[in-house]
């Protein structure tokens, strides 16, 4: 268990933004990367594995999001943020029957802000794609329309306030 906690802690440290300039990036939806500054210290909600992208994703939440999960709330409160960190995979050299995160590919987040994002049921989306060669991030998409695909997919879980991820209990 101690090794798993250490590995996860190390993983999230690897997931930090590499340049001060990266924090200034703004998605076409108006959301800044800097809004989630310090996310590597937030709570782990769950992990996902995307078979179509061969990508391991860590979902972490700010205090508002995690409190809503823990209380079993049906709707997330204003200001709740969920961050998704996506990694490619590699075989664990010490235990080849397992895989582990390899290269950080993206950091995405969604924030509940009903006043700003009425057209997407109160959720705003931002995606920042990491260049593995330089370690620098770039903004996904050229206009807010590029983010319509996020909400279109999240409509599949409308009954869960448009959030796919269930909170993984620790006890």
Per-residue pLDDT tens digits for 85-100: 999 999 999 999 999 9
Residue 18 has what pLDDT? 55
Residue 3 has what pLDDT? 40
Residue 139 has what pLDDT? 96
Residue 17 has what pLDDT? 56
Residue 9 has what pLDDT? 40
For 2-160, CATH gives 3.50.70
Which of 41, 49, 37 lies closest to 12 in space, CA to CA? Answer: 41
Contact 23, 140 (CB under 8 A): no
Residue 52 has what pLDDT? 92
Contact 69, 42 (CB under 8 A): no
Contacts of 150 (CB under 8 A, 6+ apart): 110, 120, 125, 127
**Percent of the chain's residues with pLDDT above 70:** 88
Residue 169 has what pLDDT? 84
Residue 19 has what pLDDT? 66
Going by their DSSP bridges, the two strands 137-139 and 55-61 should be labelled as unpaired
Q: Which stretches of the chain score pLDDT less than 50?
A: 1-14
List, in sequence order, every residue forming a beta bridge with 84; answer none if it has no partner. Answer: 59, 108
d(Cα 18, Cα 1) in Å, to the nearest integer? 29
């Amino acid at each position: 268990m101690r090794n798993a906690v250490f590995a996860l802690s190390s993983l999230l440290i690897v997931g930090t933004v590499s340049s001060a300039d990266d924090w200034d990036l703004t998605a076409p939806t108006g959301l800044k990367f800097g809004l989630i500054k310090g996310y590597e210290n937030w709570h782990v909600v769950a992990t996902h594995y995307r078979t179509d992208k061969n990508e391991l994703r860590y979902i972490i939440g700010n205090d508002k999001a995690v409190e809503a999960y823990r209380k079993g709330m049906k709707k997330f409160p204003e200001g709740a943020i969920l961050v998704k960190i996506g990694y490619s995979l590699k075989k664990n050299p010490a235990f080849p029957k397992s895989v582990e995160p390899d290269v950080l590919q993206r950091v995405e987040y969604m924030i509940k802000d009903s006043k700003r994002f009425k057209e997407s049921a109160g959720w705003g989306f931002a995606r920042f794609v990491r260049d593995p060669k330089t370690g620098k991030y770039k903004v996904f998409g050229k206009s807010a329309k590029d983010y319509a695909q996020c909400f279109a997919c999240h409509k599949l879980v409308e009954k869960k306030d448009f959030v796919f991820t269930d909170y993984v209990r620790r006890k």
